[in-house]
Amino acid sequence: MPKKDALKREPSTGNVFADLGLADAGEHLIKAGLVVRIDRTIRQRKLTQAAAAQLMGIDQPKISAMLAGQFRGYSVERLMRFLVALGHDVVIVVKPRKRGAAELRVA
């Protein structure tokens, strides 16, 4: 029986958008993190998409599209405002980096 070829693996940068070679990969990663928090909040509060949309000031199909990964048309600021509308405080912390490259992230 012939040996199977080993799968070729490449190390990740930690940012799938950068790994895919997309421009503005850091911004995409931040937006994705914010959308994950929006989705988690909607689920934890057991909101329908229609109820969440009303709180956020947009229509239900836009919520559906956003949660399906279509969030490029939203700014980071607008996504943060959606979280505020859903009852979250959004805190921006700026601090000197300890080591390695400086980064943007959603905690």
CB atoms within 10 A of CB 71: 19
Domain range 23-85, CATH architecture:
Orthogonal Bundle (1.10)
Q: How far apart are CA 83 and CA 74, in angstroms?
A: 13
Residue 40 pLDDT exceeds 80 = yes
Residue type, 63: I
pTM, two decimal places: 0.81
For position 38, what pLDDT does the model report? Answer: 98
pLDDT tens by residue, 43-102: 999 999 999 999 999 999 999 999 999 998 999 999 999 999 999 999 988 888 888 777
Where are the domains positioned within the chain? Answer: 23-85
Read off the pLDDT of each residue in 17-45 and give the average, rounded to a whole number: 91
Residue type, 58: I
State the alpha helices, DSSP H only, in 1-107. 16-19, 25-44, 49-56, 60-67, 76-85
